[in-house]
Chain A
Amino acid sequence: MSTQDGEAVVELTIPGKPEYVGVARLAILGVASRMRFSYDEVEDIRLAVGEACTTAIERANGSRGPDQEVRVRCLIHPTRLVVEVSDSAPPPATAEPDPTTETALDERGLGGVLIRILMDDVQSVDESETGRRGVRMVKYVASAAR
């Protein structure tokens, strides 16, 4: 699949179960390895995408259960890789935990910290029309002109 401006698109949907996060990691490893990223950058992307999938799966399991699916959508551009990880689980009934509390740091906060450190640009995705929520991450190819 490719878009009109020359980006190639790779899309994967996994069941919202912990054992499938490894499948998404393998797929992103394949995508990023084909681009002009260094070994360390490929590993950074793999970890960031793994963290985003884990967050989505934890959210899915906290709502409608394991029937929920998680979508990993990669937009491959000569100068950058954009990865969107999203699900359509309903928003949690309770407020998000305070990231400064110890519990949040232990179990949830670190994933978000890692994603922000490892990727160049990170935004949340919240599409009210489709109900999809998640994260959009960008990694630029260092050797390419932006």
Chain B
Amino acid sequence: MQLKVDTRSPREGVAVIVLSGEVDVYTSPRLKQEMVDLLNRGQVNLIVDLNGVEYLDSTGLGVLIGGLKRAREREGDLRLICENMRILRIFEITGLTKIFEIDRTEEDALAKLK
């Protein structure tokens, strides 16, 4: 299975990246490039929807951490949407729930972005 990356902008300066498939060493460079392009275009608030992600490894986690850092350097933010227990567990066991803000719905994520 490959990674599908769909991006839309619900409002100025905010981009929602909807992922489906596998985020691994092969596919994560595409996610990284997408986030870098969005940030360079001034979309400094990113929401990454992980509900369609079937597999996420440390490479994908590294790309998300990098995206969060880059967004904050531009005074933006990165929030995640995830209800998938399997994927949430990966964030929990690596301690990354302390770093990422994870919402259940896009509405919640949008409301919490400045």
Contact = CB atoms under 8 A, between A and B. Distances in A.
B25 A18 contact: yes
Interface size of B as a range: 10 to 19
How many A residues are at the interface, by size bracket?
20 to 34
B36 interface: no
Nearest to B57: A50
Contacts of A108: 58
Given A51-B57, A106-B66, A114 B25 contact: no
Contacts of B25: 18, 21, 54, 57-58
A22 B26 contact: yes
A19 B22 CA distance: 12
Contact of A110 (B1, B24, B58, B86): B58
B50 to A, nearest CB: 15
Nearest to B60: A110
Interface in A1-51: 18-19, 21-22, 25, 40, 43, 46-47, 50-51
Interface of B: 1, 22, 24-26, 55, 57-59, 61-62, 65-66, 86, 90, 93-94
